[in-house]
Chain A
Amino acid sequence: MTAPLLSVRDLAVTFHLRGGLLRPTRHLKAVNGVSFDIAPGETLAVVGESGSGKSTMARAVMRLVEPSAGSIHLDGDDITALRGEPLRRIRPKLQMVFQDPYSSLDPSMIIADVVGEPLTVHGVATGADRDERVQALLEQVGLGRYHMNRYPYEFSGGQRQRIAIARAIALQPKLLVLDEAVSALDVSTQNQILNLLEDLRRELGIAYLFISHDLGVVEHIADRVAVTYLGRIVEEGPTERIFAKPAHPYTEALLSAVPIPNPRIQRSRQRIVLPGDVPSPLAPPPGCPFHTRCPHVMDVCKTVMPAHTPMAGGGSAACYLHDPQATEGGRRAS
């Protein structure tokens, strides 16, 4: 395998929630001990329940929140602790598209300035040269040049997301982080954007960190998938393997909960409906984070966090069911 473009090791992000008079400050581990790699031109999808730390992970990679532990290497350079000017200089390699196409574009700027801003602030192009490049970018994402002087609110959600993508690829990044970039869109518009991403990947060789909770979309676009639960990656591996042979009980439940748009298949499926709710990240359960809802829970699961075990077919899962030594003792105990 080629050297990874992005390499994240043991990443943790903790938010300190300021207490009031009667409440002490609480610590919320939004991301906890997360490691993954992304190769150049590869798409890694991150899926998981709301609040499982996907956006925080993305923002940490983007260096928009401070990691509390771990390291982030981009193109071999350690960017974990970069600040100020050095951080600004690596930004062009690393760009992001946000979930909400309505709040991620400055309403007071015309499109030419929105898309041209990265070129301006990095001194890449100015004046007529910049406008020419902006036109080319707009055309690349399927919008005409006559949109240059319009304001964001004049565009539909799908068009805004195209604008956000044009802006994000303006500096020819190596990695594009897409945080639920198509979730707010109708299926049809969503597909237009996904096709566009596919084209851009082919033309520009960009790698994607693709965050989504829509497994249908993920299966379509991702090379590899990481499944998060309560701030941790519980399973990771090639898309085919994850979808055909999910190893972690949570992944399995997640896959079975996605309704298939075909009544005959959907109504005859064996479904796993998980009981209960996701525990609060302020008080995560000890041991395996999933043990409060897991249909296969054993005694070991409740005390010690399982380590990642490599899986046949690629990737790994953090579950005692796949850890030969632990299962022996665990099964007997329970």
Chain B
Amino acid sequence: MAAPILEVEDLGVEFLTDHGWVRVVDGVSFSVGEGETLGLVGESGSGKTVTSLSVMQLIPVPPGRISGGSIRFAGRELVGMSEPQLEDIRGDDIAMVFQESMTSLNPAFTIGEQICEVVRRHRGCSRREARDRAVEVLELVQIPDPRSRLGAFPHEFSGGMRQRAAIAMALACDPKVLIADEPTTALDVTVQAQVLDLLRSLQQRFGMAILFVTHNLGVVADLCDRVAVMYAGRIVETATVFDLFESPQHPYTEGLLQAMPQLGERGKRLAAIPGTPPMPWQMPTGCRFHPRCPYAETACTEQDIPLRALAGDRHVRCRRVEELTLEGAQ
């Protein structure tokens, strides 16, 4: 693995809810190397978005707060950094693309104005240079005839074009880390394929690190180098993409892989992990997956299971790793 550019260690995030302070992200650690794509996967509500927003220090406070841990970008601590300093980093060194492109783009300004503003803020360059840069990045994301499109408003673009424009804006300052929270989930598969191709080629050219949040294992298989699997606010397994799909070590990962409809198995009953994920205010004791785990034993319910390092840069949070042989993807 390349030298880590982004390191998250023991991150905890809490929200004030009807049930008091609830910890929705608990002890999350991972790192992303230069030029590497880390996939963050897990079911809805597992804390993927909260984790990625924490990296940008964009958790809404209140109701949220970062209750502990450390987030380092190129060795600099982001937790507790002053807002002006963060603003210098956001959009410049670390950029983000959201699921709904409308969240990243302001409907009241043209695409050109928005990209130019980011460039001028961080680069302090002239209007003309900013415009040239905007044309350049729009070209990068394959918006046809970019110069004339600078004056277009977001709503004049199709969903796929908007998402590409949002990516262009994120790329405008050559970020070292790109955080993409489900950037293709709202898109059609054919458009998703375009965007994934684009991200891949951009990464090859510029060598940025990507934290790619998704719940689609197909997309992970397509794009990611390493994968972190989240369940109920915790990372339960990290591994390289090939290891993870071939020989998952955590029962939850196995469940997810088995649940993907397999090609050529018409009419067979689909595998499903029974039950639903727990609510963050009523986390099960011990292993948080035990109520749904087919391999659970009484001991699994008793005490917290630590994330253990295995050979080959893998980490697994299951007390039965050694005994279990789990099935990977076909």
Contacts and interface: CB of A to CB of B under 8 A. Distances in A.
Contacts, number: 120
B272 A266 contact: no
Contacts of B261: 191, 216-217, 219-220
Contact of A191 (B245, B257, B263, B270): B270
A257 B245 contact: no
Contacts of B221: 259-263, 265-267
Interface string A265-307: 1110001011011100000000000000000000000000000
B43 A188 contact: yes
Given A158-B276, A188-B255, A262 B189 contact: no
A258 interface: yes
Given A188-B273, A220-B265, A50 B159 contact: yes
A53 to B, nearest CB: 14
Contacts of A187: 43, 215, 217, 256, 259-260
Contact of B329 (A195, A213, A262): A262
Query: Which interface class (under 10, 10 to 19, 20 to 34, 35 or more) fits B?
Result: 35 or more
Contact of B266 (A159, A239, A274): A239
A201 B257 CA distance: 26
Interface string A174-203: 000000000000111111101100100000
A277 B329 contact: no
Contacts of A195: 269-270, 272
Given A156-B276, A191-B259, A266-B218, A220 B266 contact: yes
Contact of B44 (A186, A239, A259): A186
Contacts of A143: none
Nearest to A48: B188
Give the interface centre of A192, A263, A277 by most chain B CB atoms within 10 Å: A263
Query: Which interface class (under 10, 10 to 19, 20 to 34, 35 or more) fits A?
Result: 35 or more
Interface in A223-281: 239-240, 243, 253-254, 256-267, 271, 273-274, 276-278
A75 interface: no
26 contacts: A49-B190, A156-B276, A186-B43, A187-B259, A188-B43, A188-B259, A188-B272, A189-B272, A192-B272, A216-B261, A217-B261, A219-B263, A219-B266, A220-B261, A220-B265, A220-B267, A239-B266, A243-B263, A253-B190, A261-B260, A262-B329, A263-B221, A264-B245, A267-B222, A273-B194, A277-B161
Given A191-B270, A277-B191, 16 more contacts: A49-B188, A157-B44, A188-B255, A189-B272, A190-B259, A191-B259, A191-B271, A192-B272, A257-B190, A259-B193, A259-B218, A261-B329, A263-B241, A266-B218, A274-B194, A278-B158
Interface of A: 49-50, 156-159, 186-192, 194-195, 198, 213, 215-217, 219-220, 239-240, 243, 253-254, 256-267, 271, 273-274, 276-278
A-B pairs, top 4 by smallest CB distance, nearest first, are A259-B218, A191-B272, A191-B270, A216-B261
